[in-house]
Amino acid sequence: MLDQTQLKHNAAQAAIQYIQPLLGPDVVLGVGTGSTVDLFIDALEAHKALFRGAASSSERSAVRLRARGITVFDLNEVSAMPVYVDGADEIDAQLNMIKGGGGALTREKIVASVAGQFVCIVDESKLVAGLGRFPLPVEVIPMAREAVARRLTELGGRPVLRDGFVTDNGCQILDVAGLRIPDPADLEARVNNIPGVVCCGLFALDGADVALISTQDGVRRIDRQPA
């Protein structure tokens, strides 16, 4: 029986195999944030001579990339990238996701928006029939925190401030439990339209293109189906 760390390691290795045909001397990769991505970064070190560098969704990942000898580019220096690799806190069979457990959700969405495809790497515990068991992170401008919390309560959620945490953007996170999410894209749009919300952790309007899900029986690949 593989433990969760071994499952994450297998997902990271599968991502390395997936991106290898996309590497080249001018290629900049998009790299996300989280424990599975940490393992991906570690594995990426052996291939660093095959690509130009990476654009990161967080300071945490940028530090790890630099420590592995991988050049980190500001996203403003990057006009295109073939692939963005990141994890998820939850993902469903349609490749909608909840992300932001590490607090990097806004930068994750921004970096992912520049990439040709989003590859999500997770262990099997993150695959769910329906999103919402994991509280939805919502990044908010500090002065709007209570106003946003009231609106999220009206949507049926129970928002709680992530105490003592400040995002790389200088904002705060409300973790919202109790939401029903039958239509992830609709809820994403509604939450993002609340004044004071920087970004919410639903990735459904632009979900993953490919999921590499590490299981006890190997890595399972799911591709997003055309709408």
pLDDT per residue as tens, the chain (227 positions): 999 999 999 999 999 999 999 999 999 999 999 999 999 999 999 999 999 999 999 999 999 999 999 999 999 999 999 999 999 999 999 999 999 999 999 999 999 999 999 999 999 999 999 999 999 999 999 999 999 999 999 999 999 999 999 999 999 999 999 999 999 999 999 999 999 999 999 999 999 999 999 999 999 999 998 76
| 214 among annotated binding-site residues | no
- Is 102 known as a binding-site position? yes
Query: How many alpha carbons fall within 13 Å on the CB side of residue 183?
Result: 5
Catalytic residue among 108, 124, 139, 188: 108
The predicted model scores a pTM of 0.96
Q: Is 106 annotated as a binding residue?
A: no
Tell me the CA end-to-end span of the chain in Å, nearest whole number.
37
Strand, helix or coil at 160? Answer: strand
| CATH numbers and ranges of domains, the chain | 4-127+205-223 (3.40.50.1360), 136-201 (3.30.70.260)
Angstrom distance (rounded) from CA 72 to CA 80? 15
Residue identified by tokens 């630099």 is 66
Q: Is 87 annotated as a binding residue?
A: yes
State how beta strands 210-215 and 118-123 pair.
parallel
| Known catalytic membership, residue 108 | yes
Per DSSP (E only), the strands in the chain are 28-31, 53-56, 84-86, 90-91, 97-98, 118-123, 136-140, 158-161, 172-177, 197-200, 202-203, 210-215, 218-223
